[in-house]
Structure 1
Amino acid sequence: FHFLLPFILAAMSAIHLLFLHQTGSNNPLGLNSDSDKIPFHIFYSMKDIIGFIILLSALILFCLLCPNILIDPDNFLPADPMVTPSHIKP
């Protein structure tokens, strides 16, 4: 399932762009839809930029202060040149 999920999301995004963002969409009652629209404000851009900066700085701090947390602990076995590793033994 985890392999198919990106393709499912891409297909759903394509369907969304194809069908929901068409000009001349169906409006059988002729209602004015301008009242439902939220006007764009610089607040939303600044909020997104600040959130991106906070998440990026948290990731950078995590990677700089605790770099070994995300690594497989099997990579840190003490080396012994006189012993053949188990994956090479016949």
Structure 2
Amino acid sequence: GLCLIIQILTGLFLAMHYTADISLGFSSVIHICRDVNYGWLIRNIHANGTSIFFICIYLHIARGLYYGSYLSKETWNIGVILLFLLMATAFVGYVLPWGQMSF
């Protein structure tokens, strides 16, 4: 829960300073890192928080496999759908800076 809250808060802060334009996306990320107070820190917390969040999710899935939670098919299928939605959201967040790795 804490990882998700941190991701949402840092994401909202970054969204306030982000320019959603293909030609200005990368420049706005540079602006956040260089000109916004502690922008570099918030961006790094957001980027590394994603990895920590997915580690927590994978541990949750492993626990579900260990305890046989997959036997409740409806609950397990909803969890799988949520996992795919989180992966899609992470992919979109990865592409947003429009850097070299976004293509």
TM bin, normalised by shorter chain, reads 0.3 to 0.5
Larger relative helix fraction = 2
Larger-gyration structure (1/2): 1
Question: Given the two structures, how large is their TM-score scaled by the length of structure 1?
Answer: 0.34
Greater RCO, CA 8 A, separation 6+:
2
Question: Given the two structures, how large is their TM-score scaled by the length of structure 2?
Answer: 0.30
